[in-house]
Amino acid sequence: MTIHHHATDETLMRYAAGDLDAGPARVVAVHLAGCPACSARLAQFEAVGGAVLEQMEPVPMAPDAFAAALGIIEAEEAGRAAPRKPAAARSSSGRAPSLLPGGIPIPAPLADCEFGPWRWIGIGVRASAVRLPEDPEARLTLLRVGPGRKLPEHGHVGTEFTQVLVGSFSDGYGRYLPGDLSEMGHEIEHQPIVDPEGECICLAALEGGMRLTGFFGRLIQPFIKL
Ligand SMILES: [Zn+2]
């Protein structure tokens, strides 16, 4: 698999720092699982982060600073454990399905998620809600769009992260194939069109949990009359 569209450096730095929302972090995790280039880049950022911490050591510290720092690190590790290693967390439970709705293999970073049924949200467009154990309010969505289908042109309040799992789509910025990650900033308006060869299944999340409902509403509004 040749990957042409990667995570931005800003996104990888924020992922390394645990600064991405739960939904986008999962989309990036799925991309990282299939992208050695971004995984290597992430390792560089994590190393830089470690070096910065080391440079901070000579600062005079209170007697209990080391213990306090360990406590902070352990707390952060605990908080990051779920999104960073979800497959390991539940791999032996046997509860995770091996296939997504539609029969496609489940990406390893989503192994501990629950998947809702495919729901029709417009002509040729279906969606499955993905529930994250670490943040049940997070909105992560599988979109399944028919060949040649056009999604409405839309802008975003936050950055939209879309990882292609099956098929391909194109917009004014490029063609996205399985393994590719599309990051569309809030200043960008684009109109994704699924390529005619077949349906496209992708994993999508929008940064800013409170705004996602609005985004999703705008996404489906042109298709259905409520
Ligand atoms: Zn990549």
**Could you read off the pLDDT of 65-108 as tens digits, one per residue?**
656 656 665 665 565 544 444 444 444 444 445 676 667 788 99
How far is ligand 1, taken at its centre, from the CA of residue 115, in Å?
A: 25
Q: Partners of 203 in the beta sheet?
A: 142, 163
Specify the pLDDT at position 89. 40
Ligand 1 centroid from CA 28, angstroms: 9
Ligand 1 center from residue 152 Cα (angstroms): 26
Q: Which residues pair with 194 in a beta bridge?
A: 169
**Residue 75 and residue 79: Cα distance in Å, rounded?**
6
pLDDT of the residue at 172: 83
Query: What are the C-alpha distances in Å from 39 to residues 34, 80, 182?
Result: 9, 17, 16
CA of 94 to the centre of ligand 1 (A): 30
pLDDT of residue 75: 64
Residue 95 CA to ligand 1 centre (angstroms) = 29
Query: What pLDDT is recorded for position 109?
Result: 95
The alpha carbon dihedral of 11, 175, 220, 118 has a sign of negative
CA of 122 to the centre of ligand 1 (A): 31
- Are the CB atoms for 131 and 114 separated by under 8 Å? yes
CA 9 to centroid of ligand 1, rounded, Å: 10
Structural domain spans, the chain: 1-226
- What distance in angstroms lies between residue 182's CA and the mean position of ligand 1's atoms? 10
Number of H helices, E strands in the chain: 6, 10
The answer to whether 147 and 199 have CB atoms below 8 angstroms apart is yes
Residue pair 144/127 in contact (Cβ under 8 Å)? The answer is: yes
Tell how far the Cα of 37 is from the centroid of ligand 1, in angstroms: 5
Beta bridge partners of 164: 202
How many whole angstroms from 31 Cα to the centroid of ligand 1? 6
Give the model's pLDDT for residue 200.
93
| C-alpha 135 chain-centroid distance | 13
- Res 208: pLDDT: 62
The DSSP secondary-structure symbol of 126 reads E
- Residue 204 φ then ψ, to 5°: -130, 140
Cα–Cα distance between 129 and 203 in angstroms, integer?
10
Q: Per CATH, which fold does 1-226 belong to?
A: Jelly Rolls (2.60.120)
* Residues with pLDDT less than 50, the chain: 81-96, 209-217, 220-226
35 CA to centre of ligand 1 in angstroms? 5
Token look-up 């990882």 returns: 163
CA of 155 to the centre of ligand 1 (A): 23
What pLDDT, on a 0 to 100 scale, did the predictor assign at position 82? 47
Distance 134 CA to ligand 1 centre (A): 24
Compute the C-alpha angle 29/35/40, nearest 5°: 90
Taking the CA of residue 225 as centre, how many other CA atoms within 13 Å lie in the half-sphere pointing to its CB? 0
